[in-house]
Structure 1
């Protein structure tokens, strides 16, 4: 088993480094993270890129389907795993395309909250008690969704370091947005202030720390990233 794991690590790291060189720097962080998630799954299953079959790829898809990731994230992660395995085929390391005819995840096209609300509905949604950490988080999150139009999956994928200053404007850098592209979203003053107010009382800080985190009963924030499903429930409150 140790030999299998060592081989898997070597092969996948070699593939990752090859493909990462073809990507824009802004895309590499997410790509590397997703590729290593796939590598860890292979290690757990006692597999290597050489021994992967179409059934194994289907099982990896089931693994993602059972996870709490947003659909867009599942689709991105599965696409990257498929790309890695297709590279194996192109390089002559495996004989068959183990991704052939495997379907990804259908991503909702109406995840944005921006266009679905009237001004009054948006105002009502933002009528939140901000005296608690959870209230500050929800207000910052909903302000971001309502006033920028970014998708729920994009909001939960943000890290604290993705909120930054560019050319004199506060912005949110969406590293892996619609169409698998990086984009920069300008933040209105009130949106940035809501986010800054929320971040000021979070115990966990760091550029790679999740921006929006789960909060336990008693108003205790965790270091775990909020899920797309949790955001959907917050929006529907």
Structure 2
């Protein structure tokens, strides 16, 4: 097999991820950024072909991420090294190199970060901050109610089409969400979210749709096109500011996943089974969902220590 340079192999690897592994454009872009940085480091050492990559090159690259002039956070280092390991395994599988130079690479230990959920009162304040009759406010209320009612990722919500609202007797009591890898799941929509969606679809979306080209998108921007993730995030942040939640939420404030975290945490606090929450969130493994059980357990422990006379 003729030799090829590392840039060509990177393109082949990304095509493999897209076609055979079904990775999303967003994921592919992240892989390309990480691996381009790896290839640039190799080029500085004069390495341009796969056969020239050694374990020492990989080790030095990993060290540069942690100890360079602009060291990365442990989570970012772990992500980049995961990209490198996937790429070198691909080179071995394709017969480009005989052994994997990253086989002994160990990712840095990451801090155990628990998801930050809002309290029920904070969620209610956030939703109430969009309580107005203007087209934009009706849309914002429908978006936020849907995010909290379903646990959808912001990217999943803005990707919805009107036809993804499904149910019986014309009632949109279910929504069809498409998660990572285009995996589909059906999630119930509660009565508050249904009412907000009905108000938006009847009184707001028709007014927004005439401002742009015809689109099946459920959530529209002010110019009539599909709403972007960035615009949705701005809606959440603006609602948090109007609800005066900044002081309560601390320096990190609200995140795009705040309503998703709150959805999961409040379900578990209400007695929902962790495997049901796993299905609703679209997690491939229940282990990912179980981190929320720790959040609820920590909250119970804090309440116990505060309330029980012999707890302290």
Query: TM-score per shorter chain, which class?
Result: 0.5 to 0.7
Among 96, 102, 120, the residue aligned to 1:98: 102
In the alignment, structure 1 residue 161 sits paired with structure 2 residue 159: yes
Counterpart residue number, 2:232: 212
Q: Does 1:29 align with 2:25?
A: yes
Distance 1:183 1:61 in 2: 38
d(CA) in 1 for partners of 2:10, 2:257: 38
Paired residues of 1:35 and 1:80 also in contact (CA < 8 A): yes
| Cα distance in structure 2, aligned partners of 1:100 and 1:77 | 15
Output aligned runs, 1:36-47, within 5 Å.
36-42=32-38, 45=41, 47=43
Aligned counterparts of 2:123 and 2:227: Cα–Cα separation in 1: 30
Equivalenced residues, count: 204
Residues 110 and 100 (structure 1 numbering): CA distance in 2 closer, same or farther, change over 3 Å? same
Residues 8 and 49 in structure 1, CA contact (< 8 A), matched pair in contact too: yes
Mapped partners of 2:93, 2:9: distance in 1: 14
Q: Is 2:125 the partner of 1:124?
A: yes
Provide closer, same or farther for how the CA distance between residues 110 and 235 of structure 1 changes in structure 2, counting only shifts above 3 A. Answer: same
Q: 2:24, 2:100 → 1: CA distance?
A: 27
Q: Which runs of 5+ in 1 are unaligned?
A: 1-5, 219-228
Moved more, 158-167 or 82-91: 158-167
d(CA) in 2 for partners of 1:167 and 1:133?
A: 20
CA distance in 2, matches of 1:170, 1:124: 24
Q: 1:44 to 1:185 in 2, by over 3 A?
A: farther
Q: CA offset at residue 64 of structure 1?
A: 9.6
Q: Which residue of 1 aligns with 2:59?
A: 54
- Indicate the SS of the match to 1:98: coil
Contact 1:133 1:201 in 2 (8 A): no
> TM-score, with normalisation over the residues of structure 1?
0.55
Structure number, greater radius of gyration: 2
Q: Tell me how far 1:16 sits from its aligned partner.
A: 2.3
1:174 aligns with 2:197: no
**How has the CA–CA distance of structure 1 residues 59 and 214 changed in structure 2, closer, same or farther, with 3 Å as cutoff?**
farther
**SS across alignment from 2:159:** helix
**Residues 138 and 86 from structure 1, CA distance in 2 versus in 1: closer, same or farther, beyond 3 angstroms?**
farther
Q: 1:184 — aligned with what?
A: 185
